[in-house]
Amino acid sequence: MLQPPPPVPAVSFTLRLGQALHRYGTPAHQLEEQMRLVAQRLGLEARFFSTPTSIFASFGPPEALQTSLIRVEPGEMDLGRLARLDALADSVIRGELSPEEGAEHVESILAEPPRHGSPLLLLCWALAAVGGARLFGGGPREMGVAALISLLIGGLDLWTRRQSSTMWVLEPVAAILSSALAVIAASLVGPLSVQIVTLAGLIVLLPGLSLTVALNELATRNLISGTSRLTGAALVFLELGFGVALGSRLAEWFPLPAKLGPVPDLPGWTEPLALVSMLFGVSVLFRARPQDWGWIGVAGTLAYVGSRLGSEVLGTQLGAFVGALIVGLVTNLLARVRNRPAVITLVPAIMVLVPGSIGFRSMESLLARDVLAGVDTAFSMLMVAVALVAGLLFANALVQPRKVL
């Protein structure tokens, strides 16, 4: 007996929702589970498979499958739109909206103008760099130069988004700018730490979050997606390392020698201010809604404090486990109380723990032909990333979030 075809409106809504969630940075295991839950509530028999560049969706019984392939490009993280898409999925599941209306709402969410204008985005690039420079141990000179470099890179990012042919060269060009300008600044306004300035200037582009998400996907047995994302993160590290090496070589042509010296110690009260500056900058760059900024600050502060305390007890590499466990528990509790996706507060908060700076230092050592230091630092990076993933998995086991995202 032939099975009736699945209802078109329900299929259309499920596919459009999945494509939108993928576009705004949802990991494979969460995307597949969210699509499965929506399809189940809409009475569809469906199977889903997600990779960083595609979604496979099959509807119907195994003997009469209707399979769709959606080619998607990895998009930027947009926490505001993810929150709206999650609320929309709930409305369709509860029957408040029909699947046809849900599909129209998805399109309207995708067509919304950017939440923040270019001036605020550029300011937040600079704020993230200022906070990163202080947390890396920099002083006033490092913070000021890193803010200027990050401001230029932010402008470059906005410009490359308008031309698809140039968006793929952002990382190496940004690394060239950051390293070259750091050396030139050390010559003109030094002494300062070139390494701290270079790292802080590139902090928004460091793929530590992508590395953590990749290992999380591997840990949840999404092997293809996790491996692909891990390869992408490694490629970004290579591009940044190449750009830094080239920028440093170009800076050698500058006639004045770089002035290097010890970094002055800043008062302790500047550290929490730097953390707030970084969290606010990252929240805006990830397009979080203003009503979520306060909760993001609370979660990020707990993550940072937990990581510092964990480092004193377990060591630097494993201290991230404590930070990730605390922030995972807090964000899951907030998700249950506020009925909002945990990812809204988790992603910006976890940014203060991700091992992007360690991976960058590893690549820098390898390019300088210091193989032992490079391999040792790379191992430290992987240990920190694994500790982060383990902390998040433990948190999900102890306090299960009410929502998939």
Q: Given a cut of 70, is residue 165 above it in pLDDT?
A: no
Q: Per-residue confidence at 354, pLDDT binned at 50, 70, 90?
A: low
pLDDT, one tens digit per residue, over 228-264 is: 888 888 888 778 877 877 887 777 777 766 666 677 7
Q: Mean pLDDT score of the chain, rounded to an integer?
A: 81
Q: pLDDT: is 13 or 259 the higher one?
A: 13
In this predicted structure, what is the pLDDT of residue 152?
92
CB 154 within 8 A of CB 219: no
Q: Per-residue confidence at 373, pLDDT binned at 50, 70, 90?
A: low
Cβ atoms within 10 Å, residue 310: 22
What are residue 50's DSSP bridge partners?
55
Q: Given a cut of 80, is residue 343 above it in pLDDT?
A: yes
CB 286 within 8 A of CB 79: yes
Specify the DSSP element, H or E, that contains 69.
Answer: strand 66-71
CB 361 within 8 A of CB 196: no
In this predicted structure, what is the pLDDT of residue 126?
92
Q: What is the DSSP letter of 168?
A: G
Cβ atoms within 10 Å, residue 23: 18
CB 359 within 8 A of CB 376: no
Look at residues 388, 398, 325, 327 and name the one whose alpha carbon lies nearest to residue 356. Answer: 388
Q: Per-residue confidence at 127, pLDDT binned at 50, 70, 90?
A: very high
In this predicted structure, what is the pLDDT of residue 148?
93
Query: According to DSSP H, which parts of 252-315 are helical?
Result: 270-285, 290-314
Stretch 109-113: mean pLDDT: 85
In this predicted structure, what is the pLDDT of residue 147?
92
Cα angle, residue 224 at apex, residues 223 and 228 outer, rounded to 5°? 115
Q: Given a cut of 60, is residue 200 above it in pLDDT?
A: yes
Q: What is the DSSP letter of 65?
A: -
| Terminal CA-CA length for the chain | 38
Structure tokens at 14: 């499920």
Residue 200 identity: A
Please state the domain extents for the chain.
Answer: 8-110, 115-268, 288-405
Q: Per-residue confidence at 5, pLDDT binned at 50, 70, 90?
A: low
Cis, peptide link before residue 257, omega less than 30° from 0: no
In this predicted structure, what is the pLDDT of residue 7?
65
CB 329 within 8 A of CB 397: no
Query: Residues 163-176, buried b or exposed e (16+ Cβ, 10 A)?
Result: eeeeeeebbbbbbb
In this predicted structure, what is the pLDDT of residue 2?
47
Stretch 321-335: mean pLDDT: 85
Reported residue count of the chain is 405
Q: Return phi, psi of residue 49, to 5°.
A: -145, 125
Q: pLDDT: is 299 or 238 the higher one?
A: 299
Stretch 353-373: mean pLDDT: 54
pTM of the model: 0.84
Q: What is the DSSP letter of 339?
A: T
CB 274 within 8 A of CB 282: no
Q: Per-residue confidence at 189, pLDDT binned at 50, 70, 90?
A: confident
Q: Per-residue confidence at 227, pLDDT binned at 50, 70, 90?
A: confident
Beta-strand relationship, 54-59 and 46-51: antiparallel
Stretch 318-323: mean pLDDT: 79
CB 60 within 8 A of CB 39: no
Cis, peptide link before residue 191, omega less than 30° from 0: yes
Q: Given a cut of 50, is residue 145 above it in pLDDT?
A: yes
Q: Name the E strands within 4-128.
A: 46-51, 54-59, 66-71
In this predicted structure, what is the pLDDT of residue 374?
57
In this predicted structure, what is the pLDDT of residue 359?
46
